[in-house]
Amino acid sequence: MTTIEPKLVSQTAKELYIRALKVLPPDVKAALARAAERERHPRAREILGVMLKNVEVAETRGLLVCQDTGTPVYKLRIGRGLAYDGPALLAAIVEGVKQATLEHPLRSSVCHPIDRTNPQTNTGHRIPMIDVEFLEESGYVELKMMPKGSGSENMSFLKMLTPADGLNGIKRFVLECVVNAGGKPCPPTLVGIGIGGTSDLAMKLAKEAIWRPVGSPNPDPAIAALEALLLEAINALGLGPMGLGGDTTALAVQIEYAHTHITQNPVAVTLQCWRGERAMARIYPDGRVEHGF
Amino acid sequence: MAEYRLTPPLTDEQVRALRVGDTVTLDGTVFGLRDATLIRIFDEAQAPPADLRGGVCLHTAPNVKKLCGHYEPLSVGTTTSMRMDRFTGGLLERYGARAIIGKGGLSAESLKHFQGLGGVYLAITGGAAALETTQIEAIEAVWWEDLMPECLWQFRVRGLGPLTVAMDSHGGNLYADVQAEAQRRLGEIFARLEKRA
């Protein structure tokens, strides 16, 4: 039996949405705890302490970490050797979001962009966002979920740099984005950067970077060095947790890149709030579901 | 830096006593509102159906559950205030609100209103809604349910905080101080990075 059942995908999509809002990934919690230990500014230490306590309260009492149920974003990653009905799986994810919203219940944070009406389901035209990818591995489907909060999502930036702007232009743009965002994206943030490609690919890569566990360097040593350098520079700005001053402005800087046109160098920056919410599950044709982050 | 425990409605004297860096904890009534609520009040010119005089306004749109005709709070957190910046003056001047609880701060324009009209901005830790929810005792009233979740909410709170006075009625502005310092450091950091390259 190699068929992936839409019903199981729907149930998993629902569970992932709720779990992502309640339980933070271990890498995020560890990064927050490390930051709290290192922080020298008293107010900043207190704020980081509130964040850590909040994570604990959310887990022990089964509460949402943040009120923002976000824009639901999914990645459906399909392994080799499986039989599946693609459109049915996409519909199953939408159904999972609706069920999570109505049954938990969750706040519906999704509305029409012009008339602002809210369907009260966290779904709508093209929402949830679902990216479909293919895995090298065989025998399972991976479903990843990120409820992207608006405070940080509103702090997304794109600049079409030129070759003459060079590497310094990239560094300058990233730092300016972080300073201009100030306390609005709920720092300490995870800074996702996409370099190269086209305008849309650059932003997609910036988003790709924040799916990575916090503090996982890019496998390319030159890119990893740029990540480390930018993280140090950002944390030297003194913006601190919630923009109220301190040493901890970012938990990590993560970069993804693509080759680009000889005349251009797009750079996209997206900020993820301190919660770094994401959840993942592997779904097998025999009905097993393995949960992770 | 002083610590205050206050119960709204707040008086002019109570608000004027608060200085940047002080800590406030609240008991009693707090109103929840944000984007759509304020658009209705000011752009659609519908007076708020609650008395906001001396009131504390929390920038929020909660997760709730309706049980037997009333709402239970499931998750009450705080949103980014800057989107609601242009409504600060009206909330204070026309409707008598005295304090705004939010995250990320408001503009220099709002600071002028806090100075002129006797208001204060109280910063809460964003994203810490689980903790905030445990400080909400009840949802006492809700108006404009058609705007769900951005209705006008009346919460009863106990020990809501700690809130940091981040903008006060004397021109104090913690965000502006931190921003100015970050801008200054930005110049130094660029110089260092560009030399290394």
How confident is the model at residue A1, as a pLDDT? 65
Q: Which helix (H) or strand (E) holds B157?
A: strand B152-167
How confident is the model at residue B193, as a pLDDT? 86
User: What does the pLDDT average to over A89-118?
Assistant: 98
SS3 state at A219: coil
Residues 6+ apart with CB under 8 A from A263: A162, A163
**Calpha distance A143→A121 (Å, rounded):** 20
Question: Are A161 and A236 contained in the same domain?
Answer: yes
Higher pLDDT, residue A73 or B68: A73
**Calpha distance A247→A237 (Å, rounded):** 8
How confident is the model at residue A292, as a pLDDT? 97
Q: Which residues of A touch B133 (CB under 8 A)?
A: 63-64
**Calpha distance A67→B74 (Å, rounded):** 9
The answer to whether residue A46 sits within a structural domain is no
**Backbone phi and psi for residue B81, each to the nearest 5 degrees, phi listed first:** -75, -30
What single letter denotes the amino acid at residue B20?
V
Instruction: State the DSSP string of B79-140.
Output: -BGGGGGGGHHHHHHTT---EEEEBS---HHHHHHHHHHT-EEEE--TT-HHHHHHTEEEEE
Q: Provide the ipTM.
A: 0.95
Residue B103: strand pairing partners: B80
Residue closest to A215 by CA, chosen among A28, A23, A20: A28
A42, closest residue in chain B (CA to CA): B21
Domains in chain A, number: 2
Residue ranges of E strands in chain A:
71-80, 129-138, 141-148, 156-161, 189-197, 250-260, 265-272, 279-283, 289-292
Residue A197: strand pairing partners: A260
Question: How many A/B residue pairs have CB atoms within 8 Å?
Answer: 176
- CATH number of the domain that residue A91 is part of: 3.30.1330
For residue B195, pLDDT over 90 is answered with: no
Q: Please answer yes or no on whether B128 and A183 come within 8 Å at the CB atom.
A: no
For residue A288, pLDDT over 60 is answered with: yes
Percent of chain A whose pLDDT exceeds 90: 99
SS3 state at A97: helix
Question: Are A287 and A207 contained in the same domain?
Answer: no
In the numeric block, which tokens belong to residue B36? 């759509």
Of A65, A186, A236, the CB nearest to B103: A186
The answer to whether residue A80 sits within a structural domain is yes
The answer to whether residue A37 sits within a structural domain is no
Q: Please answer yes or no on whether A107 and B126 come within 8 Å at the CB atom.
A: no
Q: What domains sit in chain B, N to C, each tagged with a CATH number?
A: 3-196 (3.20.130.10)
How confident is the model at residue B194, as a pLDDT? 82
Question: Are A260 and A167 contained in the same domain?
Answer: yes
Of B82, B164, B182, the CB nearest to A237: B182
How confident is the model at residue B22, as a pLDDT? 98
Residues B98-144: pLDDT tens digits?
A: 999 999 999 999 999 999 999 999 999 999 999 999 999 999 999 99
Residues 6+ apart with CB under 8 A from A30: A214, A215
Q: How far is A60 from chain B (nearest CA, A)?
A: 10
Question: Are A109 and A136 contained in the same domain?
Answer: yes
**Calpha distance A279→A293 (Å, rounded):** 4
What length does chain B have? 197
For residue B197, pLDDT over 60 is answered with: no
The answer to whether residue A52 sits within a structural domain is no
Q: Please answer yes or no on whether A150 and B80 come within 8 Å at the CB atom.
A: yes
How confident is the model at residue B196, as a pLDDT? 64
Residues B131-184: pLDDT tens digits?
A: 999 999 999 999 999 999 999 999 999 999 999 999 999 999 999 999 999 999
What single letter denotes the amino acid at residue A79?
G
Contact with chain B for residue A108, Cβ under 8 A? yes
User: What does the pLDDT average to over A216-241?
Assistant: 98
Contact with chain B for residue A86, Cβ under 8 A? no
Question: Are A92 and A181 contained in the same domain?
Answer: no
Q: Which residues of B touch A275 (CB under 8 A)?
A: 127
Residues 6+ apart with CB under 8 A from A208: A192, A194, A256
Residues A21-40: pLDDT tens digits?
A: 999 999 999 999 999 999 99
SS3 state at A133: strand
**Calpha distance B97→B10 (Å, rounded):** 9
Residue closest to A160 by CA, chosen among A230, A259, A271, A263: A263
**Calpha distance B129→B68 (Å, rounded):** 25
The answer to whether residue A27 sits within a structural domain is no
Question: Are A180 and A248 contained in the same domain?
Answer: yes
A107, closest residue in chain B (CA to CA): B63
**Chain mean pLDDT for chain A:** 97
Question: Are A169 and A234 contained in the same domain?
Answer: yes
**Calpha distance A64→A86 (Å, rounded):** 31
Interface test with B, best of A244, A247, A249 (most B CBs within 10 A): A244
Q: Which residues of A touch B61 (CB under 8 A)?
A: 67, 107, 109
Residues A246-282: pLDDT tens digits?
A: 999 999 999 999 999 999 999 999 999 999 999 999 9
What single letter denotes the amino acid at residue B120?
V
Q: Which residue segment(s) compose the domain that A182 sits in?
A: 151-272
Strand order in the sheet with A71-80: A129-138, A71-80, A141-148, A279-283, A289-292
Question: Are A90 and A210 contained in the same domain?
Answer: no
Question: Are A105 and A162 contained in the same domain?
Answer: no
In the numeric block, which tokens belong to residue B105? 């701060």
Question: Are A212 and A137 contained in the same domain?
Answer: no
Q: Please answer yes or no on whether A243 and B178 come within 8 Å at the CB atom.
A: yes
In the numeric block, which tokens belong to residue A172? 């300058």
**Calpha distance A24→A65 (Å, rounded):** 8
